[in-house]
A and B are shown apart, each in its own frame.
Chain A
Amino acid sequence: EAGVTQFPSHSVIEKGQTVTLRCDPISGHDNLYWYRRVMGKEIKFLLHFVKESKQDESGMPNNRFLAERTGGTYSTLKVQPAELEDSGVYFCASSYDRGGSGNTIYFGEGSWLTVV
């Protein structure tokens, strides 16, 4: 069974440009999450989708970040325009159930973003 896949694995863009990160969750997982770690900081929650609906987007840093999950399958996270402080690694994760404690949250390998 394929795990959570993310694309691109690495991206280098200039300040002011746009980058779109894609995440394909494990098949059948309703829950999809985005997390990120910027330089020197902990991994932090960005947002949570249940199918195509944004369940919790309290971690989104500002309106330069836009996440979508059309059709409830894959998700994209767009950063526009990118700033230097956006550099870091963006993790996508997915899980099966809508609640409870028993379901494992699986992470992808991450998309490493460098803004220069």
Chain B
Amino acid sequence: LAKITQPISMDSYEGQEVNITCSHNNIATNDYITWYQQFPSQGPRFIIQGYKTKVTNEVASLFIPADRKSSTLSLPRVSLSDTAVYYCLVRTSRTGFQKLVFGTGTRLLVSP
């Protein structure tokens, strides 16, 4: 299984762009990269998923280089409510089988 490392914590200010990079050196060919957000006393909530290059949705962008050994979650113009733990995950999927491998999580603190 992929070993996933990410920074323990990051600080930012309202309105700034935040980029969180994750390393997943052992990612397999069929694995996808997924990011989840977690607030205290809540379950992880899906943010974005990608396989390669760039994926963008209404809340974030995900950048994945060609070798797929790392990925970067980009949060544009963060607000105080974006203070949370962000998990980088590798998702292994094949017919009838799915598993998420969680990273250690990055605690993002957004200040006024």
Question: Which residues of A approach B to under 8 Å, CB–CB?
Answer: 4, 31, 33, 35, 42-45, 48, 50, 55-56, 91, 93, 95, 98-101, 104-110
A45 to B46, CA, bound (A): 16
Specify which chain A residues have a CB less than 8 angstroms from the CB of B32 in the assembled complex: 101
Residue of A nearest to B31 (CB): A101
Specify which chain B residues have a CB less than 8 angstroms from the CB of A108 in the assembled complex: 43
Contacts A42-B102, A43-B87, A43-B102; A109 near B41 (Cβ below 8 A): yes
- The answer to the question of B49 belonging to the interface, with a C-beta cut-off of 8 Å to chain A, is yes
0/1 per residue, B89-112, Cβ < 8 Å to A? 001011111111111110000000
Whether B43 contacts A109 by the Cβ 8 Å rule is yes
Q: Which 8 A-B pairs have the closest CB atoms?
A: A107-B43, A99-B95, A43-B102, A107-B44, A101-B32, A104-B46, A109-B43, A42-B102
- Distance (whole angstroms) from the CB of A112 to the closest CB of chain B: 8
The number of A-B residue pairs with CB atoms under 8 Å apart is 61
Within 8 A of A (CB), among B56-112: 87, 91, 93-105
Specify which chain A residues have a CB less than 8 angstroms from the CB of B45 in the assembled complex: 107
- Distance (whole angstroms) from the CB of B50 to the closest CB of chain A: 9
Specify which chain A residues have a CB less than 8 angstroms from the CB of B46 in the assembled complex: 104-106
On chain B, the number of residues with a Cβ less than 8 Å from chain A's Cβ atoms is 25
- The answer to the question of B29 belonging to the interface, with a C-beta cut-off of 8 Å to chain A, is no
- A sample of 19 more A-B contacts (CB under 8 A), given A99-B96, A99-B97, A101-B49, is A33-B100, A35-B102, A43-B44, A43-B87, A56-B97, A91-B43, A91-B44, A95-B98, A99-B95, A101-B32, A101-B51, A105-B46, A105-B91, A105-B100, A107-B36, A107-B44, A108-B43, A109-B42, A110-B41
- Distance (whole angstroms) from the CB of B31 to the closest CB of chain A: 9
Whether B104 contacts A42 by the Cβ 8 Å rule is yes
0/1 per residue, B28-48, Cβ < 8 Å to A? 000010001000011111100
Whether B42 contacts A48 by the Cβ 8 Å rule is no
